[in-house]
Amino acid sequence: MARLIDLASVLRSKNAGALLCTLDVMFEEEATYRRVRDSGVLTAGLIAKLYGISDNAVSIIPYDVAYAIKITIPRLHKSGDPDDSDIYGAQQHAPLLDIEIPE
């Protein structure tokens, strides 16, 4: 098995408005992208568990043309809220790093 951080060329997060965060997983090669996309590992259930949210709040969209997977989740606090510890949403991808993807 390989970790997602070792397979992806880009693994990042950013705001998608004040209430949502987007997690981008991008790959250089089509074969690696298809391996991850088709593995059945990146599910709404797994993302929900990692982020402590409902499965229904997770959107996972594969973009075949770009070899990318976009995951959108709600922010725990809206951007700029006094309780918000990451105003740009740039530190939210860390739970994805060690996800294991089978061969």
| CA dihedral (46, 66, 91, 89) positive or negative | negative
Instruction: Residue 36: give the domain boundaries.
Output: 2-101
**CA 72 – CA 76 distance, rounded (Å):** 13
Structural domain tally of the chain? Answer: 1
pLDDT attached to residue 76: 83
Look at residue 89 and tell me whether its pLDDT is greater than 90: no
Token pair 């390989």 in the structure block, residue:
2
Name the 3-class secondary structure at 27: coil
Render pLDDT for 26-50 as a digit per residue (tens, 0 to 9). Answer: 999 999 999 999 999 999 999 999 9
**CA 57 – CA 47 distance, rounded (Å):** 10
- Of the pLDDT bands very low, low, confident and very high (cuts 50, 70, 90), residue 79 is confident
pLDDT attached to residue 68: 98
Look at residue 71 and tell me whether its pLDDT is greater than 90: yes
Name the 3-class secondary structure at 53: coil
Non-local CB neighbours of 94 within 8 Å, separated by 6+ positions: none
What does pTM read for this prediction? 0.93
**Mean of pLDDT over the chain:** 95
- Of the pLDDT bands very low, low, confident and very high (cuts 50, 70, 90), residue 78 is confident
